[in-house]
């Protein structure tokens, strides 16, 4: 079986989706890239005819990937359910429908059974949520999660292509002795850390939107509505790859050695954990790679049944494009989607 596939969005995530589809030999009969306007654009090294997104553009499509980055509203809100009504299986990287009761929120290694044959619209979790739940899933199966405290160090690519260019320009301006300018963030990101991603929300006083996403999405993915989760999300001057310091408390005892073994045997996880030799995951090593990397695994000396760990992944790849393609592969394998 081969499928007509649409990628909606031609930015950083959309381009990465095209790249991942090609690299994984996804069964494509035809690939179309949709955006706000028609144009020719170089995507993953090939010139493609980008077409304007309209309801009719989905008529012959089997699977549509909506490639919106965090905070990029519009495409799935306008066209997501319209595409479903035209017989399309939709996988949405945006945040508009993640907490919608109709929509499974899926990391294939973690909760594949959240998808049933009745579902035609699946949501990708937030990039920072994906890598955290991916790493915690094998430990949760052993000892049952009780509480999570996470601090994230998130690269500018999570904001999109414009933020990548802005950091690049700030580096160049700094070296040249020119005045630094910024538009993507409330402050310069070069040589700085910004403890704000998104805006404040009344639902959780004092928490920014990215932090609330991690709280609510983690609860939904693990199916634990009252799971204790606290997050502090920080934007850092890194081009690609998110890092997280996680303190996870469990209901049952679990040692660092048991955790290392469980993580090393879990699909999609790579353990790099030799602190004496200065071996641990870093964004510079994770960029453009598929795995979620875990290291600095150790027992919290102040609290029983609690582990500290360091989690790194490519936010554009596993945190967006790869996870979406894996969802499509999963539903194809299970026979939940077929060509028209």
Predicted confidence at residue 50, as pLDDT, reads 93
338: in domain = no
* Residue pair 170/180 in contact by the 8 Å Cβ criterion: yes
Are residue 250 and residue 176 in the same domain, yes or no? yes
Domain that holds residue 180: 129-314
Predicted confidence at residue 74, as pLDDT, reads 66
Give the C-alpha separation, 132 to 322, whole Å.
15
Give the C-alpha separation, 315 to 277, whole Å.
26
Predicted confidence at residue 70, as pLDDT, reads 42
Q: Please enumerate in sequence order all residues whose Cβ is within 8 A of that of 137, keeping only pairs 6 or more positions apart, or say none.
A: 107, 109, 110, 266
Predicted confidence at residue 45, as pLDDT, reads 86
Give the mean pLDDT of 158-172: 95
Are residue 154 and residue 221 in the same domain, yes or no? yes
**In which element (H, E) is residue 83 found?**
helix 75-85
Task: Find tokens 């009745």 and name the residue.
Answer: 118
* Average of per-residue pLDDT values in the chain: 96
Are residue 57 and residue 139 in the same domain, yes or no? no
Are residue 106 and residue 144 in the same domain, yes or no? no
Are residue 178 and residue 54 in the same domain, yes or no? no
Are residue 282 and residue 296 in the same domain, yes or no? yes
What CATH number is associated with residue 216? 3.30.360.10
Are residue 163 and residue 102 in the same domain, yes or no? no
Beta-carbon count within 10 A of 198 CB: 16
Beta-carbon count within 10 A of 127 CB: 29
Beta-carbon count within 10 A of 338 CB: 10
Predicted confidence at residue 73, as pLDDT, reads 57
Task: Find tokens 């509203």 and name the residue.
Answer: 73
Predicted confidence at residue 75, as pLDDT, reads 87
Give the mean pLDDT of 126-153: 98
Q: How many domains does the chain contain in total?
A: 2
Return the active site residues.
Answer: 127, 242
Are residue 88 and residue 145 in the same domain, yes or no? no
Are residue 329 and residue 212 in the same domain, yes or no? no
115: in domain = yes
Segment 40-99, tens digit of pLDDT:
998 888 899 999 999 999 999 999 999 975 444 568 999 999 999 999 999 999 999 999
Give the mean pLDDT of 171-196: 98
| Residue 172 scores a pLDDT above 80 | yes
**How many residues are listed for the chain in this entry?**
340
Q: Give the 3-state secondary structure of residue 7.
A: strand
Segment 218-243, tens digit of pLDDT:
999 999 999 999 999 999 999 999 99
Are residue 159 and residue 42 in the same domain, yes or no? no
Task: Find tokens 């353990």 and name the residue.
Answer: 271
Give the mean pLDDT of 29-34: 96
Are residue 101 and residue 43 in the same domain, yes or no? yes
The pTM (predicted TM-score) of the whole model is 0.96
Give the C-alpha separation, 130 to 96, whole Å.
16
339: in domain = no
Are residue 160 and residue 54 in the same domain, yes or no? no
Segment 82-139, tens digit of pLDDT:
999 999 999 999 999 999 999 999 999 999 999 999 999 999 999 999 999 999 999 9
């Amino acid at each position: 079986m081969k499928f007509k596939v649409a990628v909606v969005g031609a930015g950083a995530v959309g381009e990465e989706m095209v790249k991942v589809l090609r690299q994984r030999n996804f069964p494509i009969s035809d690939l179309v890239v949709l955006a706000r306007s028609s144009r020719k654009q170089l995507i993953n090294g090939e010139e493609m005819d980008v077409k304007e997104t309209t309801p009719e553009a989905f008529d012959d499509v089997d699977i549509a990937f909506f490639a919106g980055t965090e905070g990029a509203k519009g495409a799935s809100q306008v066209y997501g359910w319209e595409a479903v009504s035209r017989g399309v299986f939709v996988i949405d990287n945006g945040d508009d429908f993640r907490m919608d009761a109709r929509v499974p929120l899926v990391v294939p290694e973690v909760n594949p059974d959240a998808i049933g044959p009745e579902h035609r619209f699946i949501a990708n979790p937030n990039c920072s949520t994906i890598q955290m739940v991916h790493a915690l899933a094998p430990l949760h199966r052993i000892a049952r999660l009780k509480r999570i405290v996470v601090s994230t160090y998130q690269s500018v690519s999570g904001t999109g292509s414009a933020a990548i260019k802005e950091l690049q320009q700030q580096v160049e301006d700094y070296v040249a002795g020119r005045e630094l300018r910024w538009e993507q963030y409330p402050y310069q990101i070069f040589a700085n850390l910004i403890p704000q991603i998104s805006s404040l929300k009344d639902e959780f006083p004092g928490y920014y939107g990215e932090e609330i996403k991690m709280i609510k999405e983690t609860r939904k993915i693990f199916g634990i509505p009252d799971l204790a989760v606290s997050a502090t999300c920080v934007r850092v001057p890194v081009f690609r790859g998110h890092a997280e310091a996680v303190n996870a408390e469990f209901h049952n005892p679990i040692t660092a050695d048991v955790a290392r073994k469980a993580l090393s045997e879990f699909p999609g996880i790579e353990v790099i954990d030799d602190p004496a030799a200065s071996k641990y995951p870093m964004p510079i090593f994770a960029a453009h790679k598929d795995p979620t990397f875990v290291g600095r695994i150790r027992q919290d000396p102040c609290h029983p049944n609690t582990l500290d760990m360091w989690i790194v992944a490519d936010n554009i790849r596993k945190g967006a494009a790869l996870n979406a393609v894996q969802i499509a592969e999963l539903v194809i394998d299970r026979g939940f989607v077929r060509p028209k």
